[in-house]
Amino acid sequence: MLLRKPVIEYYMRGTLKAFLWFIGIFVAITIVSTLGIAAVSVNAGGTFVNGQELAFPIFFGIAMMSDFTAELHFMFQHGVSRRSTFVGFVTSMLIMSALFAVILFGLNHLFTFLSDLTGVLDAQVMMQSMFGGYLEGIGAVPGALVTILFSWTMILSAGIVGYFIAILFYRLDKVGKSVLVAVAIAVPISAPLLNHLTGGRIWQAVLWVRDRFFGTGPVPNPLNGVGVFAIVTAVGLAGCWLLIRRIKLKKV
């Protein structure tokens, strides 16, 4: 049964409220932190602040993982096919991530405006610090479009990864779930220790991957990152469909 439009509307309604809360909190934190840092930086010659927009893909990825089981059962109980469930969810994800990217672009301008307004805070957002020269070179409008495209693909790929993890976790048995949780806990805990034991080589490898594949090297180009995020999205979508096309309901 093809009920894709109602499925899209259902997912949009289910996630919109959480997104609005997140954006409201993000705006409040941006305003308070910017003015607060400016207040303590009057005699410090200015402060560089960067990377706050990473909260958007992180939140989006977590949001796509949450409530997967309840939503899947709801769809199946109402006769929605696996294909319609998948297409409806992915379509809503495409729309929400694009909306998120546009909002993020506006909030970044709010952040820089508040920074300039203080007169003491020298602040840049992530895109400015990584690709400032490239964006200035192509002009204001193309630069804005590339910035939004980069943010959109980054947020979307995070959502797809979150969705894939949710489906994989649902399909695994108890042993598989335990292993997945153990790995998720062990990696962030052990990474700093391993980096220390290897003399910082792990962090150097991370920076090499960032510069090589995401276009942040000597010749910055955000379109490299757009390509990588697009590949992650495509591979993730294929994996999600392979997992969900034969998925069976479990007792909750």
Which residue ranges make up each domain of the chain? 4-171+214-244
How far apart CA 156 and CA 151 sit, in angstroms, is 8
Closest to 89 (Cα-Cα) out of 156, 154, 21: 156
pTM of the model: 0.85
- Token pair, residue 239, equals 């994996």
Residues 6+ apart with CB under 8 A from 82: 244, 245, 246, 247
> Tokens representing 252?
């909750």
Q: State the burial class of residue 85 (Cβ atoms within 10 Å of its Cβ: 0-12, 13-18, 19+).
A: buried
**Nearest-angstrom CA–CA distance, 169 and 69:** 10
Q: List, in order, residues 6 or more apart from 65 with CB less than 8 Å away.
A: 162, 163, 165, 166
The enclosing H or E element of 176 equals helix 174-197
One pLDDT digit (tens) per residue for the chain, 252 residues: 445 677 777 777 777 778 888 888 888 887 777 777 666 655 555 555 556 778 889 988 988 888 777 788 888 887 888 888 888 888 888 999 999 999 988 888 887 777 777 666 666 677 777 887 788 888 888 988 999 999 999 999 999 999 999 999 988 888 988 998 898 888 888 888 888 888 888 888 888 888 888 877 777 888 888 999 999 999 999 999 999 988 887 765
Long-range contacts of 235-239 (CB under 8 A, 24+ apart): 236/157, 236/160, 236/161, 236/163, 236/164, 237/90, 237/160, 239/164
